[in-house]
Amino acid sequence: MELPGGPEQVLGTGHVDDVVGPGTAGTGSSDDPLVIRDAATGAAVPDAFQRLWNPHRMAYIDAGREGEGRGHKDDCPFCDAPAKSDEDALIVARGEHAYVLLNLYPYNNGHLLVCPYRHIPLYDDASPDELREVGELTQTAMRVLRQVSHCDGFNIGMNQGEVAGAGVAGHLHQHIVPRWQSDSNFFPIIARTKSMSQLLGDTRRLVAEGWPTSD
Q: Is 173 labeled as catalytic in the residue annotation?
A: yes
Choosing from 97, 111, 171, 173, which is the catalytic residue? 173
d(CA 16, CA 6): 9
d(CA 197, CA 214): 31
Separation in Å, CA 151 to CA 82, 126, 142: 28, 30, 9
Q: Which residues partner with 120 through β-bridges? A: none
Alpha helices in 42-157 (DSSP H): 58-66, 77-80, 86-89, 128-149
d(CA 141, CA 210): 10
Of the candidates 110, 102, 190, 205, the residue with the CA atom closest to the CA atom of residue 154: 110
Active site residues: 173
